Structure 1
Amino acid sequence: MSSRDQFASKIGFILAAAGSAIGLGAIWKFPYMAGTNGGSVFILLFILCTVIIGLPILIAEFMIGRRGQLDPINSFKTQAPGKPWYMVGWLGLIACGIILSFYSVVGGWILSYLFRAVTLQLTGQGLDFASLFSDIIANPLEVLIAQGAFMLLTLLIVQAGIKGGIEVASKWMMPLLFIFFILLFIRSVTLDGAMEGIKFMFVPDWSYLNIKTLLLALGQAFFSLSVGVSAMITYSSYLSPKENIVSSAGNVAVMNIIISILAGLVIFPAVFALDYSPEQGPGLVFVILPAVFEQLPMGGLFLIIFFILILFATVTSAIAMLEVVVAIGIGQKTEGRKRASWIFAAIIFLIGIPSALSYGVMSDFTIMGKNFFDFADYITSSILMPIGALLISLFAGFHYSKKVSQQELNSSSLLFTIWLTIVRYLAPIAILIILIRSAFA
């Protein structure tokens, strides 16, 4: 165990963990979820749910991982010998593999758009972006090449290890992500008519304050922190015992909230200023935003920056998912990382082929009325992730003694009592509500 790789610094760990959380959920899903659910009220509920429910579960994952200092399966085996808790690690392995299989497809779409933006193919006046998006995702050769390129980029980072790969990449990508967001934010809010978009985000429309919006905000907060798939258990297993996991988790949660709000501040002022509807749904990033940027001075440059930004966010999440699979694959060994990275990346790429072809040659193939891509998304987001988070919450809440947990968290009695109450009772109830709602959706 002494030879096991570790993060070289606390900031490296925080940026890597934040990168895992800040992915398409924050930049792609959050804006369209806010756009279709009233804007400001959804955002307020999202922040509350992140702090009250998501953060305590994130702390629980950090505690399990840092205490185990092993991959998720062996971490549970050593901390609960002879009990089936190690199945949570297997659940995380399966979930991460499936998520990355279709996540890499979206990563490929982003690479396709970035290539077109750099080669100035997205700046022609009157370009039909809806048709362009449909053509790209239906082209089997392009989507498979782009998916393969994205997986190659991901595995090259993971094979280099924690210090030399994941930490270095996160230290570069995450600050650049913030810088690019600030540039786009300044450009967006200085447009004529941008104030309507800002009002949409910050002036509450209380008619949206209902159970449906609360549950959607809870689901967004829950999934945007990347909990439930053992990614945070894996990352925190490389963390030194001296680090304060409560403050680290708090920093990750705050960064996730800031990036989500910045995404809204980039998108909604521009959408309102150029007279588009915020209720465009999932096509907001690939269909509406290119049309918005096309109408701006220097729009081609800002579009390139935007897709680089989304690529960074997507890659930092993808490397976390591949790291879970690789960490379990190599166990306590370190010399097999490169080989394992290539093998598992290749397997995940092959598993992702049906998802890549779901909008083209395999569009007629359905499971439970969903194409392969949507089914893979549904089975992970609506079933595997909530179950994983539920089990992690119960393990942290009931397996450890109060003395052990409080020592690990190194917090005051009041804060510890609040955390324990949430992970034992409030979070499991909230997760069960999400599972029930998903089952009947």
Structure 2
Amino acid sequence: MASREQFSSKTGFVMAAAGSAIGLGNIWGFPTQTASNGGAAFVMMYFLLAFCLAYPALMAELVIGRHARANIVTALRHVAPSKPTRFLGTFIGVYGVIVASLILAFYGIVAGWMMTYLGASITDLFQWNEASQWLTSFGFTRNIIAMGIFMVLTIAIIASGIQGGIERWSTRLMPMLMLILVALILYVLTQDGAKEGLKVYLIPDFSQIKPSLILDAMGQAFFSLSLGVGTMLVYGSYLSDKEDLPKLGAIVTLTDSGIAFIAGLLIIPAIYVAQAHGTSIFSESGTLIAGPDLIFQVLPSLFNSMGGIGPYVALAFFILMTIASLTSSISMLEVPVSLASEETNATRRQATWLIGGVIFVCSALILLNFELLFTLVIDFTTVYSQPLLGVLLCVFVGWIWHRNSLLNALKAGSPHLEQSLFWKIWPVYVKFFCPLLILATFIQSIIG
């Protein structure tokens, strides 16, 4: 097994972890969830639950990863005290690797769409109408080429290692993402209709605070931090013992939820600017259009209505979405690659290209059977598997790992932790409350 790399700095880890968390779902999912769940009431509930639910679960992954210094399968085996719990750890780890790989299989397809619209915004500038039409028309050839290009980018970064790949590109791409995001917000807020969008986003409607809103906010907080499939556990395994984990986990949680909020300042006003330009922004059921329809129908029609500046705004927006896609995809690929490079004789580069190739084939199979498999894979991974894996990881930390061993693992980097409020609350919280709250979200997802 090759010696393990580490993140060279706290900033490198925070940028990589935030990049993993800030993906396509965060940029379109959080804002539209907010708009259809009482505006600022949802935002307040989301921030509350990000720290009450997502932060404790994030800490569970980080502490296992750093203590074991290994991939998810080996790490869970390492902290398991008996043969049955080691078997359980192996099962959870392998399940997490499969789920992370399947998430990347459908995510690569959606990210490919972002790249085709980015390409179309460039061809529009040169008025290459035929190229633009091909790039924005749904078709197998377009989809597989775009997905393949995106997968090669993801593979190239992961093959370069932790410092030379993940850290290097995260510390470059995340500031670029923030710069484009802020520039787009400043532009959109000057447009007609933006004020109405800001009102929806920032003025709370407390009558909307119902069990369904609380559970939606809980689910968004949990999923937005990439929890459950081992990405944060693997990133935690590359952390130095000098780092204060509770503080670092809080920084990541605050960074992620903060950028989600900032993304809302772009998307919600942009939707209402589109309405001011004559675009329909509500579905037949009366809810605000979300998901792919928002990104590929509502916003492009807004860009088209902007005149000469429209193609440049579209270009900036789809660069933003492509960066968000890439910073998330590299963390997903790292989960299976870390396992293969540590548990087999394959080098990191060999493992990355082999696993990347297998995931490319899975994506191609989804594209060949799109109507049947696309939604099925999304539901299996994000609706059902992620919450269950989150519960199992909390159970591992709260019930299986010996309390003294857990304290010693956390004390590295924060020697006075035993006297802190964190240590008085977190072990009990992650043992009882976290699993119950995540299960409540899971049940609501199924019922919903």
Length-normalised TM-score, structure 1: 0.91
Aligned to 1:331, the other structure's residue is in SS state helix
Aligned to 1:424: 431
- TM-superposed CA distance for 1:354, in Å, is 3.0
> Structure 2: how far apart are the matches of 1:132 and 1:53?
44
> Structure 2: how far apart are the matches of 1:124 and 1:39?
40
Cα deviation, 1:343-363, whole Å, max 9, x if unaligned, reads: 1011001111232245xxx53
- Cα distance 1:259–1:357, how it changes in 2: closer, same or farther (>3 A)? farther
Cα deviation, 1:148-190, whole Å, max 9, x if unaligned, reads: 1110110000000001111101010011111111101111112
> Structure 2: how far apart are the matches of 1:398 and 1:144?
45
Cα deviation, 1:78-103, whole Å, max 9, x if unaligned, reads: 22153222222111101111100100
- TM-superposed CA distance for 1:235, in Å, is 0.9
Aligned to 2:65, the other structure's residue is in SS state helix
Matches within 5 A, 1:207-246: 207-246=207-246
Aligned to 2:298: 288
Aligned to 1:392: 393
| 2:330 aligned residue (313, 319, 327) | 319
- TM-superposed CA distance for 1:414, in Å, is 2.0
- TM-superposed CA distance for 1:400, in Å, is 3.1
Is the 2:274–2:299 Cα contact (8 Å) retained in structure 1?
A: no
> Structure 2: how far apart are the matches of 1:124 and 1:257?
39
2:101 counterpart of 1:88: no
Amino acid at match of 2:400: H
Amino acid at match of 1:301: Y
> Structure 1: how far apart are the matches of 2:3 and 2:406?
26
Is the 1:188–1:265 Cα contact (8 Å) retained in structure 2?
A: no
Matches within 5 A, 1:1-150: 3-80=3-80, 82=83, 83-84=86-87, 85-120=89-124, 136-137=137-138, 139-150=139-150
- TM-superposed CA distance for 1:339, in Å, is 0.9
Gaps of 5+ in 1: 364-370
> Structure 2: how far apart are the matches of 1:155 and 1:95?
18
> Structure 2: how far apart are the matches of 1:258 and 1:319?
21
Gaps of 5+ in 2: 283-287
- TM-superposed CA distance for 1:37, in Å, is 2.2
> Structure 1: how far apart are the matches of 2:61 and 2:169?
23
| 1:341 aligned residue (352, 358, 364) | 352
> Structure 1: how far apart are the matches of 2:162 and 2:2?
15
> Structure 2: how far apart are the matches of 1:348 and 1:298?
38
- Cα distance 1:77–1:342, how it changes in 2: closer, same or farther (>3 A)? same
> Structure 1: how far apart are the matches of 2:134 and 2:256?
31
Aligned to 1:62, the other structure's residue is in SS state helix
- Cα distance 1:80–1:299, how it changes in 2: closer, same or farther (>3 A)? same
- TM-superposed CA distance for 1:241, in Å, is 1.1
Cα deviation, 1:228-287, whole Å, max 9, x if unaligned, reads: 000111111111111111122111111111211111111222222342536012211221
Amino acid at match of 2:310: G
Alignment length (residue pairs): 426
Cα deviation, 1:296-327, whole Å, max 9, x if unaligned, reads: 36221121111111111111111111111110
- TM-superposed CA distance for 1:38, in Å, is 2.6
- TM-superposed CA distance for 1:109, in Å, is 0.4
Aligned to 1:178: 178
Aligned to 1:298, the other structure's residue is in SS state helix
Aligned to 1:367: none
- TM-superposed CA distance for 1:2, in Å, is 8.1
- Cα distance 1:120–1:95, how it changes in 2: closer, same or farther (>3 A)? same
CA RMSD of aligned residues (A): 2.4
Aligned to 1:190, the other structure's residue is in SS state coil
2:264 counterpart of 1:257: no
> Structure 2: how far apart are the matches of 1:21 and 1:122?
35
Matches within 5 A, 1:365-376: 371-376=372-377
- TM-superposed CA distance for 1:331, in Å, is 1.0
| 1:306 aligned residue (290, 296, 317) | 317
Amino acid at match of 1:169: W
Matches within 5 A, 1:184-223: 184-223=184-223
> Structure 1: how far apart are the matches of 2:337 and 2:128?
43
Is the 1:73–1:88 Cα contact (8 Å) retained in structure 2?
A: yes
Is the 1:122–1:290 Cα contact (8 Å) retained in structure 2?
A: no
> Structure 1: how far apart are the matches of 2:362 and 2:204?
43
Aligned to 2:421: 414
- Cα distance 1:47–1:123, how it changes in 2: closer, same or farther (>3 A)? farther
Aligned to 1:204, the other structure's residue is in SS state coil
